[in-house]
Amino acid sequence: MDKRQKTIIGRLAKEYADARSALQYSNPFELLIATILSAQCTDKRVNVITARLFPRYGSPAAFADMPAAELEKLIRDCGLFHAKAKNIKAACRMLVDKFAGKVPGGMDDLVSLPGVGRKTANVVLSQAFGVPAIAVDTHVFRVSHRLGLAAGADAEKTERELQELLPRQSWSAAHHWLIWHGRLICRARNPLCGKCLLADLCRSEDKKEK
């Protein structure tokens, strides 16, 4: 890590010291379902959906046995509901049949579940099992590239670069720092560079001069 990157990380860590996931869940299974639902949907909207979903359907068996049309109706507001319902039902069936109804705590097992990619698996590993992990979503990808912390062409390469750059114990926190900076300041279309605490260090072509 060079001096510029070190300063960037230090400032982000201080600014977003309290950053946490906005998704509401009370166990690894609920986190898994909420994270699948969060694809291309806001955490706020997912929380509204899961607040009416989890009290009625609280286990993998309950989801696996639920008619697909019923699940689609309950998650319709979060977009991509047809694909999400199909994946959730198939993942829950696999949890029941292969993992004794429990969410597994390993990357290989997690990504074997339908609809679960590395991003979702990393969120579950880090937040439900306390395993250091960097889930690379659209914010983490964009912000880390703009700041010159990573250059890989895809999420997996970016994840590896960030892992190499950052100490293992800060991987999970760094995921939140980058997400929150991306949501609040370094937005995709109109980054608020005038308010950015990293403007003096940012060399991105997307940086807007005042």
Locus of tokens 């946490």: 20
What's the closest the beta carbon of residue 144 comes to ligand SF4, in angstroms? 10
Task: For residues 23 and 120, give the distance between their C-alpha atoms in angstroms, rounded to a whole number.
Answer: 13
Find the part of the chain contacting ligand SF4 (CB under 6 A) among 26-34, 59-67, 71-79, 190-198: 190-198
Q: Which are the contacts of 105, defined by CB distance < 8 A and separation ≥ 6?
A: 28, 125, 128, 129, 131
Length of the chain: 210
By C-beta, is 11 or 160 nearer to ligand SF4? 11
What are residue 134's phi and psi, to 5 degrees? -120, 105
- Check if the beta carbon of residue 142 is closer than 8 Å to that of residue 150: no
Catalytic residue check, 108 = no
Catalytic residue check, 137 = yes
3-state secondary structure 38-53: CCCCCHHHHHHHHHHH
Among positions 185, 188, 190, 210, the unique one binding ligand SF4 when judged by CB under 6 A: 185
Site for ligand SF4 (CB under 6 A): how many residues? 14
What are residue 60's phi and psi, to 5 degrees? -55, -40
Locus of tokens 């597994």: 104
Find the part of the chain contacting ligand SF4 (CB under 6 A) among 9-17, 56-64, 130-138, 197-205: 197-205
User: Mask: binding to ligand SF4, 123-162, rule CB under 6 A, as x and -?
Assistant: -----------------------xx---------------
Among positions 21, 49, 202, 210, the unique one binding ligand SF4 when judged by CB under 6 A: 202
Catalytic residues: 119, 137
Q: Which residues bind ligand SF4 (CB under 6 A)?
A: 146-147, 185-186, 191-193, 196, 198-199, 202, 204, 206-207
